[in-house]
Each structure stands twice: as C-alpha cells, then as structure tokens.
Amino acid sequence: MRTYRIRVKDLVLMCSIGVYAHEKTKRQRVRINLEMTVQESVTPLDDDIANVVSYDTIIDSIRSLVESGHINLVETLADAIADICLADRRVEAVRLSVEKLDVFRETDGVGVEIERSRGRA
C-alpha cells in the first residue's frame, strides 16, 4: 500500500501546562510539530476532502485538547496528540514534538519528541 505524509509545522497555542505552581496560574506558549504517515486511498480522491485525512480536523482537535484544562507534563500532551492523530484508521504512524517556548531565555524551547504507530503504544 502506498503512503503519503501530512505535516503540521510550528503550530503555536496557549496552553495551561506545567508542574510548578506558577505554571498553573497562567497559560504559556507551546509549539507543536507533527508528521503523520497516512495510507493512500485505494479509491479516487475526487478532489474531495472527505477522502483524505484533514489537517484542519487534527488542528481543531489539538486546540480543543489544550483548551480543555491543565496538563502537567509535555509528555502527556504529546501522547494525547498522538492518540488524536491515530484515531483516524488511515494514519499509520505519527512523529511529533511538543515544546514549551517561554521556560528559559537561553533557548527557543524545551520539550519532547515522540513516535507512535498503529498497534504500538
């Protein structure tokens, strides 16, 4: 089966995230990058969004996730985003990073990168 990749690059959202008391009282910027490996449809695309994995839907779901409440760990956020991506059966694998952007002045961001695939947690 043929595959293609969908990328979301440098999605920056305000998020309530962190384990420290000062992080629980104000939202901070997180940057999300992701790449999904998607099974190509065996039926014609017909120039119809219903026949592809929609990055719109993925981004809307990520926005809803970060707006749903406080998250302690970037690892937890990354796992939840991977679950969102893999919820579409056409997505075979996802590689993503989540970074908190305003933690240290000396760096652009700190965070994690994970990879998940169908059938593997």
Neighbours of 21 (CB within 10 A): 7
**Tens digits of per-residue pLDDT, 37-81?**
999 887 777 777 787 899 999 999 999 999 999 999 999 999 999
| pTM (predicted TM-score) | 0.92
Question: Looking at residue 69, which CATH number applies to its domain?
Answer: 3.30.1130.10
For the chain, the domain total comes to 1
Tell me which residue range forms the domain holding 46: 3-117
Q: Could you give the percent of the chain with pLDDT greater than 90?
A: 83
* Residue 120 pLDDT grade (very low, low, confident, very high; cuts 50, 70, 90): low
